[in-house]
């Protein structure tokens, strides 16, 4: 009996010192509801019945420590990768914008006022009011203006396509006088006069 009591005491000591490597002693958690908070310890004795020893269960290191740590590390790595990708994308966009600005063609406009341009283009002064109204509504007197809707119309009179104006000068992309020469010919040939062009524009908002 004394030997058995000593054996039980040794097993109880073993339950409180999990890391103590004793030969011939194994422990496993009992899944039954009446053994919660206890160890089932199998000892090499003359009996096959396990001895239940009260004590706190050993923490699940994989589930409670390593798994959350690995999840946190993976989340941090993902966020860092996303931040680096965003930075790279912003840098690429900035580089593209800079390249586009560098490729913009510098246009030198013909000096003078709108009336100077119309007079040089051969438009009658009596038509200046009609011309000013149409051109102001078509392009705001923007010599290099493209149509906002993407139609391809270009210039003071929004010629579509812009190459229509090439017959009046190779500098039709930047010279307002060349553009007005085309607009003058267009207004007269299609509407009979600038007055006719003006009347059509006020009714249809195009010409």
Alpha carbons 130 and 123: distance in angstroms, whole number: 11
β partners of residue 53: 39
pLDDT for position 60? 73
Residues in the chain, pLDDT under 70: 1-59, 61, 99-110
pLDDT for position 23? 41
pLDDT for position 29? 43
The pTM of the whole model exceeds 0.75: no
pLDDT for position 44? 53
pLDDT for position 104? 53
pLDDT for position 90? 86
Alpha carbons 164 and 177: distance in angstroms, whole number: 14
pLDDT for position 18? 46
């Amino acid at each position: 009996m004394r030997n058995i009591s000593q054996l039980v005491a040794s097993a109880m000591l073993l339950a409180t010192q999990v890391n103590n490597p004793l030969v011939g002693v194994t422990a496993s958690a009992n899944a039954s509801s009446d053994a919660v908070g206890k160890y089932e310890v199998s000892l090499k004795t003359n009996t096959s019945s396990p001895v239940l020893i009260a004590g706190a269960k050993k923490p699940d290191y994989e589930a409670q420590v390593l798994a959350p740590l690995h999840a946190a590390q993976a989340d941090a790595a993902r966020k860092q990768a996303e931040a680096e990708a965003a930075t790279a994308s912003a840098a690429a966009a900035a580089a593209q914008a800079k390249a586009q600005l560098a490729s913009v063609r510098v246009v030198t406009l013909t000096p003078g006022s709108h009336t100077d341009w119309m007079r040089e283009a051969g438009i009658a002064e009596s038509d200046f009011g009609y011309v000013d109204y149409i051109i102001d509504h078509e392009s705001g007197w923007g010599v290099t203006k493209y149509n906002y809707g993407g139609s391809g119309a270009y210039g003071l009179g929004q010629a579509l396509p812009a190459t229509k104006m090439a017959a009046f000068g190779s500098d039709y992309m930047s010279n307002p006088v060349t553009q007005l020469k085309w607009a003058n010919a267009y207004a007269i040939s299609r509407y009979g006069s600038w007055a006719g062009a003006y009347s059509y524009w006020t009714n249809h908002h195009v010409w």
